[in-house]
Chains A and B, each alone.
Chain A
Amino acid sequence: MNAKNQYLLLFTGNEWWNKLSAEQIQEVIDQSKEWYGKLAAAGKVKASQALAREGATISGKNPRVVTDGPFAESKEALGGYLLLEAESLDEVIAIAKECPSLRQGTTIEVRPLSDDCPLDFRARQLGVKGRLVEHVALAAA
């Protein structure tokens, strides 16, 4: 499975919908449906899921929970993701720019899936030849 044509769109936003009226929300929903519907119909959507507001962050040498949710109040909190298959990063940027909720305050981080882990990148910087990690990317079920 080649990861190269797959891109992860990570949606963050601090619950902008709380500031909107029912009519305004309906409008964003209608626009978003149209945006997503076109992508789905074109076969570009590999996976898409929303994340619950709860959750936890694990950290440390003696691993423990350092943050307990809810995550939603934070501006940086991840609300969901969309995994797209596309020809290029430029194509995905163009798609992301059309996302209707951008205007409401959503931010989208667009990241290509990789064949390499970050360790490999660092290893190459240090002049290590070959790859530390065999290919690990797997399609979302």
Chain B
Amino acid sequence: MSTQTHQHGYMLIFRGTDWYKGLSPEEMQQISDKWMAWFKGLMANGKAVAGSPLEREGKIVGKNRVVSDGPFAESKETIGGYFLLKVNTMDEALAIAKDCPGLPFGIRVEVRPVAGECPMVEEVREAQLAARA
């Protein structure tokens, strides 16, 4: 496993919006309690800096400006939410991802190192700062 460090942190992408279909309200309550405790713990110790669920609605904009409409179908690939982690190694990010309470039910967690700002974006910011100075 990679121990390479990434100073910009890691993004956890939660994929799957069909995994809770067979669950009872009590089971869902249990998972959401666990999930909140997990997220709050990560925020409290500074390992998570942001996170949010996504609405089921939304649109996809592509080539020729074709727009597909949401709501997104319940599927294994659809992104349900994300966390941004402020940890320095892939191993630490993976260890956190493995604690995700949705995993036993079929959710998948994509762990991606943040590459930092796009160099293009940095340049735009600098140009704007220079223009203000």
Contact = CB atoms under 8 A, between A and B. Distances in A.
B41 to A, nearest CB: 13
B55 A112 contact: yes
Contacts of B28: 119, 122-123, 128, 132
Contact of A109 (B58, B106, B109): B58
A86 interface: no
Given A36-B121, A133-B32, A140-B50, A56 B59 contact: no
Interface residues of A, number: 71
A48 B103 CA distance: 28
B120 A36 contact: yes
A126 B51 CA distance: 26
A78 interface: yes
Contacts of B94: 56, 58, 65
A141 B50 contact: yes
B116 to A, nearest CB: 7
Interface string B11-32: 1010101001101010011011
Contacts of A76: 77
B127 interface: yes
12 contacts: A8-B54, A37-B127, A41-B128, A51-B115, A110-B60, A110-B61, A111-B54, A113-B53, A117-B53, A128-B28, A132-B28, A141-B49
